Amino acid sequence: MSVDAPAKAIPKPREITTKPRVSDQIFRGVVTTFSFSALLILLLIAAFLLLQGFNTFREQGIGFITNFEWVTFTDENGVETANFGLQAMLVGTLVISALAVLIAVPLSVLTALFLTFYAPEKLKKYLVTIIDLMAAFPSILYGLWGFFVLMPMAVYWAKLINKWLGWIYIFDVPQPIFSRSPFIAGLVLTVMIIPIITSVAREVFSQTPLDRIQAAYALGATKWGMIRAVVLPFGAGGVVGGSMLGLGRAFGETVAVFSVLNIVFRSNFQILFTQGGNVASMIIQKWGEATPKEVGALMAAGLVLFFMTLIVNFIANQIVVRTVKSGR
Amino acid sequence: MSQAQISTATPTRPWTPTVKDRLMTSASVLLAVLSDVLIVQLTPMKGKIAYFFLFFILWFLIDSIFVYRSKGQKGVRDALAAKVTLFGGVIVVMVVASILWETIHRGLKGVNFKFFTTTLRETSLFDPIGSGGIAHAIVGTLMLIAIAIIFAVPMGILTALYLTEIKGKASGLIQFLVQAMSGVPSVVAGLFIYAAIILNTPLRSSAFLGGLALTILMVPTVTRTAQEVLNLVPRDLREAGLAMGATQWKTVALVVVPAARSGLITATILGVARIAGETAPLLFTVGVFDSYNFNPFKGDQGSLPTVVWRGLQGGTPESIQRAWSTILALLIVVLIMFVIARAFGTRQMKRK
Amino acid sequence: MSENITKNENGTIMSDQDKTTTPSSLSDVAGARAAGASRVGTRALGTGLEARGVHAWFDKHHALADVSLDFSAGTVTALIGPSGCGKSTFIRTLNRMHEFIPKTSMAGQVLLDGKDIYESGIDVTKIRLQIGMVFQKPNPFPSMTIGENVLSGLKLAQLKVSNQSELMEECLTRAGLWNEVKDRLGAHAGGLSGGQQQRLCIARALAVNPKVLLMDEPCSALDPGSTLRIEETISELSKTMTIVIVTHNMQQAARVSDYTAFFLSDGGPGQMIEVGPTNEIFSRPKDTRTENYVTGRFG
């Protein structure tokens, strides 16, 4: 190319427009509309629950969240006075869900590690099927199993824990009644959320970059040394995300908890004792005989539950998307 | 080195456990079992769980002695890690086995031919298992599933199509919304339908409303699976359709969707499996009913999950037996769907 | 492979076939080697690494056939040959990394100081401490700092070292990276350039004091500047350890290695065609296939 040739001007890129045909426009319109139905439904849920629960929020104010009582009294004139406070149930929700996550995460991580790094191929396929199966069990099955099979054993364990560790507040009990306790509800929830956490953990562990794994082995690491140095740091984010997904599931669990927990309106941190509750199962419990005012309050409770799970799931999905799907 | 001199050798794998290694492992397991039984007999510990935990502790201790001699401290840590992860996996498997075993064991007792062909109309809580059955509940559940499919499958697939074919600017938002929907608790779905429809329209408890509540829970599952499946359809197929001059909707309808057909069926079946056992939403929208009701738009409906629910609430041994038998039936249905969904899913994989 | 192996007055092992140095600079080299040896302790270089009749299979596919090579202590050997001829597979049999790929098998022996590393009952993690490896793509541990990366091998092997910062400085210096990172040992390894990361990986491999260092195309992902620096490092390192380097770059082989082995696969399993002193392989190769390759007629 000779130096003194005049430089050619670089043309501006042409704008390429394709006007979609009418049939395609209709197609796109229909599909898009239906996709937004998800948004519509979520908005409607919030809207209608708010509508019904509005009076409750107005009358109770912030007390709806912070009060402990749930009473309604109708006098001879049909005037109903009520005091609705969710705090006991909110505390209960947090207690049993936290317990569930606390037990489920180590078990799930161990299982995921076993599946990814230790299990022989054939065994792995069976185990993965079993865990997926667990996710498909109906929650009322967990309720039945939890009550009739797990509870007798769990009561025995609770007695043991109380005997040896009862000097710690949470393991102490005001009376020796151990059935239908937050401990047992927590155990049932543990079993229900293990499949979720395990499958997320498994996905992130299996994405561990091979070159880092090889680097660790080439330095003379044992398998566990490699896992500690490479897999766990890499997978930590994914495990956290999976745990939060499990937490969200635990928040909203209804019939399984209802079957194995004695719902009482007191904040109870003594998990071995037969007193507890969560918002979802309380709604079921009160629904049957609820006065119209109470129905409104239950709707309000449902709204609170809705937002709780929404927030937790949002955070969880953000973490999972950033760590698992993109493959750090 | 001349080419003719390549010595043929037999492949070996010197890193796999030798006979000696396997013998040592068996020896330590055996020792652990023996000492386990011994210790449990001699101490006040009891129960299968005690045997189980103690076995692992003893096995690890005994095995560590062997390992330490050949591999030192880091070898012991490695061996411990291997055992602990195995331990975790075994616990999970044991839990699933327990659930399956107990359901079959307890449920089977109450199952007979009449169980599937009669209803609970004349059965009280105390009537023994011979009388009454769940035929009405089967009909009810089928109705609910059918209604949910009618609404959820088109919504789910169309949403998935938006995400995979149109990929518009709202994709991020839609993706987020689908995930948000999957987190809606089942109670809230039931409450919503009650609040929106029962309180505001003349419609009352019916299978139709129950189906709507279940739709809310089913759509995210269908969308997510359909999305994965549609993404698996190779891009060349779409490009071939467009290159032949077809419009986008024709390409999608006549090329992409048929290619993903078995996967979409999987998505539907997985969605159904998800909602078949849901109880809470039905309590608000469908109620409980003891005999046939063939009108999906009017009147309470029986359904498998609510039969279980009532059985559990009833408290008598007979009603509890009924609950177990019903949940066994429900579990079998869910398992069958699961197996079919997998079969369809792998069929699509194989065709690629 | 026959050649004269002599021990000079300092007790270090040398071959009388060297690169292109004159006898007077040989003693300089020998002196530097001795000095290097005393800094890492008085471990002798041993008798080096020897492969005898090594075969390798991937499932049923016979990838490598009957390779025998003797890597004398303190030498640098380059493995050259066209893509897919088994060089990388071979080098991975030398530190027992080949077995990580599922369904692989091998045959033959690899002797380190006279003992077969594939013998049953041997602790393979200890072998890998003595035979280190640097990979084609730099792979420092991103969750650790630069300092932690260097010491990671020690931590994994649970080796106690009396003075960690001194060892860190020494390894980074030998790898040619000290000056660039001495002020930021606490920074994360991910912030380094490709060439720096690779030198960090070399430092990391050095920290466990290996007798042999295997390098699988260590410079192919790097720019020419980094490549040159690493080649200088290799020359320095060869004074105190045996190095085997797989390379696609014949000029590189000519620059850094004492010996060169040529690998080739003609549709069947890869084999080692010819081995010899580097300058001979490149100027007077004995096999026509070697000649064709080094003169660029194929590959």
Q: What is the mean pLDDT of the segment spanning B249-259?
A: 81
- Whether C238 has a pLDDT exceeding 50, the answer reads yes
- Residue identified by tokens 């003349």 is B202
Q: Which of B304, B305, B323 is nearest to B107 (CA)?
A: B323
CA distance A132 to chain C (A): 26
Instruction: Determine, yes or no, domain membership for B8.
Output: no
Give CA separation, A176 vs A161, A171, A198, B177, in Å: 12, 11, 35, 47
pLDDT of amino acid C46: 63
Q: In this structure, what are the phi and psi dihedrals at residue A253, rounded to the nearest 5 degrees?
A: -70, 135
Kindly list the residues from chain B whose CB atom is less than 8 angstroms away from the CB atom of residue C119. Answer: 14
How does DSSP assign C143-202, residue by residue? Answer: TSBHHHHHHHHHHHHT---S-HHHHHHHHHHHTT-HHHHTT-TTSBGGGS-HHHHHHHHH
Amino acid at C38: S
**Nearest-angstrom CA–CA distance, B281 and B309:** 12
What pairs with residue C145 in β-bridges?
A: C188
Residues B67 and B147 in one domain: no
Q: CB distance C135–A215 less than 8 Å?
A: yes
On whether residue B118 sits in a domain, the answer given is no
Residues of C in contact with B1 (CB under 8 A): 66, 68, 271-274
Tell me the shortest Cα–Cα distance from A3 to chain B, in angstroms: 44
The pLDDT confidence band at residue B52, using thresholds 50, 70 and 90, is confident
Interchain CB distance below 8 Å, A51 and B170: no
Characterize the bridge pairing of strands C259-264 and C76-80.
parallel
Across chain A, mean pLDDT equals 88
* B131 in Cβ contact with B122 (< 8 Å): yes
Provide the pLDDT for residue B331: 92
* Domain annotation for chain A: domains and CATH numbers: 87-325 (1.10.3720.10)
The amino acid occupying position A248 is G
* β-bridge mates for residue C213, sequence order: C132, C243
- Name C106's bridge partners: B12, C56
Residue C168: how many other CB atoms lie within 10 Å: 23
What values do phi and psi take at B268, rounded to 5?
A: -65, -45
Residues B193 and B304 placed together within one structural domain of the fold: yes
Question: Of A262-266, C44-48, C224-228, which range is least confident?
Answer: C44-48
- How far apart are alpha carbons A245 and A197 in whole angstroms? 7
| Half-sphere exposure (Cβ direction) of B108: Cα atoms closer than 13 Å | 6
Question: Residue C283 CB: number of other CB atoms within 10 A?
Answer: 10
The ipTM of this complex is: 0.88
User: So what's the pLDDT on residue A148?
Assistant: 94
Spell out the long-range contacts of A40-43 with Cβ–Cβ below 8 A and sequence spacing 24 or more.
Answer: A41/B181, A41/B216, A42/B177, A42/B180, A42/B181, A42/B184
pLDDT value for A36? 85
Which DSSP category does C238 fall into?
T
The answer as to whether B6 is a domain residue is no
Residue A211 and residue B259: Cα distance in Å, rounded?
Answer: 36
Of B85, B216, B324, the CB nearest to A110: B85
The terminus-to-terminus CA distance of chain C in angstroms comes to: 25
Residues B329, A161 contacting (CB under 8 angstroms)? no
Give residue C196's identity as a one-letter amino acid code.
Answer: Q
Q: Do B26 and B148 share a domain, yes or no?
A: no
Tell me the pLDDT tens digit for each residue of C274-284: 999 998 888 88
Q: What tokens does A204 get?
A: 């992130």
Inter-residue contact C281 to C274 (CB < 8 Å):
yes
DSSP A10: P
Ramachandran bin of C217, using left for φ above 0, alpha for ψ from -120 to 50, beta for the remaining angles? left
Residue with tokens 């077969």: C116
* Count of CB pairs separated by less than 8 Å, B with C: 57
Distance (Å, rounded) from C-alpha A23 to C-alpha B248? 9
**Rounded distance, CA A211 to CA C129, Å?**
18
Mean pLDDT, to the nearest integer, of C135-146? Answer: 92
Residues B152 and B73 in one domain: no
C-chain residue closest to B17, CA distance? C120
Cβ-based neighbour number of residue A314 at 10 Å:
16
* Lowest mean per-residue pLDDT among A167-181, B244-258, C90-104: B244-258
pTM: 0.86
**pLDDT of C31 above 50:** no
Residue contact C125–B10, C-beta within 8 A: no
At B223, which amino acid appears? Answer: T
Tell how far CA A305 is from the center of its chain: 12
Query: And the tokens for B230?
Result: 């549609």
Q: CB distance from C271 to chain B under 8 Å?
A: yes
Q: How many domains does chain B have?
A: 2
A230 contacts chain C (CB < 8 A) = yes
Of residues B42 and B209, the one with the higher pLDDT is B209
Span B268-316, pLDDT tens digits: 998 999 899 899 999 999 888 888 888 888 888 889 999 899 888 888 8
- A222 contacts on C by Cβ (under 8 Å): 125, 156
Q: Which of C3, C23, C25, C35 is nearest to C11 (CA)?
A: C35
Alpha-carbon dihedral C280, C284, C289, C295, rounded to 10 degrees = 90
| pLDDT of C105 strictly over 50 | yes
| Distance, C-alpha B136 to centroid of its chain | 25
Q: Which of A50, A144, A155, A322 should we substitute to test contact with B (largest number of B Cβ atoms within 10 Å)?
A: A144
> HSE on the CB side for B182, CA within 13 Å?
21
**Tokens 């386990």 found at:** B36
CA B253 to chain CA centroid, Å, is: 30
> Residue B7's pLDDT band (boundaries 50, 70, 90)?
low
| Nearest-5° Cα angle at A223, A221 to A224 | 95
Place of tokens 């080299």: C29
Taking the C-alpha atoms of residue A9 and residue A68, their distance in angstroms, rounded to an integer, is 77
By DSSP bridging, strand C13-15 and strand C5-7 are antiparallel
CA C253 to CA C278: how far, in whole Å? 8
**What pLDDT score was predicted for residue C3?**
42
Nearest CB to C156 within list A211, A229, A233: A229
Phi then psi for residue B178, to 5 deg, are -60, -45
Per-residue pLDDT tens over the stretch B125-141: 666 666 778 888 888 99
CB C193 within 8 A of CB C183: no
Query: Which residue did the predictor score with more confidence, C102 or B344?
Result: C102
Query: Is residue A247 a contact partner of residue A96, using CB atoms and an 8 Å limit?
Result: no
For residues B18 and B275, which has the higher predicted lDDT (pLDDT)?
B275
Residue type present at position B240: A
Interface touch C156/A219, C-beta < 8 Å: yes
Whether the per-residue pLDDT at A243 is higher than 50: the answer is yes
pLDDT tens sequence across C190-233:
889 989 999 999 999 999 999 999 999 999 989 888 899 999 99
What does the DSSP 8-state code read for residue B32? Answer: H
User: C104-112 and C115-116: which strand pairing?
Assistant: antiparallel
The amino acid present at C271, given as its one-letter code, is Q
* Confidence grade of residue C36 (pLDDT, cut at 50, 70, 90): very low
- Give which of C156, C159, C215 to mutate to test A binding, by max A Cβ within 10 Å: C156
- Given this model, what pLDDT does residue C231 score? 92
Q: What digits encode the pLDDT tens for the residues C67-87? A: 999 998 889 999 999 988 889
Nearest CA in chain B to A41: B216
| Per-residue pLDDT at C14 exceeds 80 | no
The number of helix segments (H) and strand segments (E) in chain C equals 11, 12
Q: Give the mean model confidence (pLDDT) for residues B219-238.
A: 88
Give residue C11's identity as a one-letter amino acid code.
Answer: G
Measured between alpha carbons, how far is B45 from B54 in angstroms, rounded to an integer?
Answer: 10
CB A300 within 8 A of CB A57: yes
- The pLDDT assigned to B349 comes to 59
Which residues, 6+ apart, have CB-to-CB distance to A10 below 8 Å?
A: none
- Are B187 and A305 a contacting pair, CB within 8 Å? yes
Q: Which CATH number fits domain C5-294: 3.90.1170.10, 3.30.450.30, 3.40.1550.10, 3.40.50.300?
A: 3.40.50.300
Rounded Cα gap, residues A71 and C74, in angstroms: 87
Measure CA of the first residue to CA of the last residue in chain A; give whole Å: 45
How much of chain B exceeds pLDDT 70, in percent? 93
B124, part of any domain: no
H or E, element range at A152: helix A151-165
Contact assignment for A52 to B195 by CB distance below 8 Å: yes
Integer distance in angstroms from the first to the last C-alpha of chain B? 46
Q: How many CA atoms lie within 13 A of C19 on its CB side?
A: 16
The boundaries of the domain holding residue B70 are 20-108
Q: What is the least distance, in Å, from the CA of A13 to any CA of chain B?
A: 23
In chain C, beta strands by DSSP E: 5-7, 13-15, 49-58, 61-71, 76-80, 104-112, 115-116, 131-134, 212-216, 242-246, 259-264, 271-277
- What are φ and ψ of residue C18, in 5° steps? -115, -175
pLDDT of residue A4: 55
Interface test with C, best of A210, A219, A323 (most C CBs within 10 A): A219
The reply to whether B156 falls in a domain is yes
* Residues 262-301, chain A, touching C (beta carbon < 8 A): none
Same domain, B167 and B305: yes
Question: Of C97, C93, C92, C106, nearest to C61 (Cα)?
Answer: C106
Evaluated on CA atoms B267, B269, B270, B274, the torsion sign reads positive
Q: Grade residue C28 by pLDDT with cuts at 50, 70 and 90.
A: very low
Q: Which of C123, C131, C139, C198 to mutate against chain A (most A CBs within 10 Å)?
A: C139
Mean pLDDT value across residues C140-160 = 91
What pLDDT is recorded for position A34? 83
* Dihedral pair phi/psi, residue C105, rounded to 5°: -150, 165
Instruction: Give phi and psi for C112, each to the nearest 5.
Output: -110, 120
Q: pLDDT tens, A123-182?
A: 998 899 899 889 889 999 999 999 999 999 999 999 989 998 988 988 988 888 898 999
Q: Domain for residue B4, yes or no?
A: no
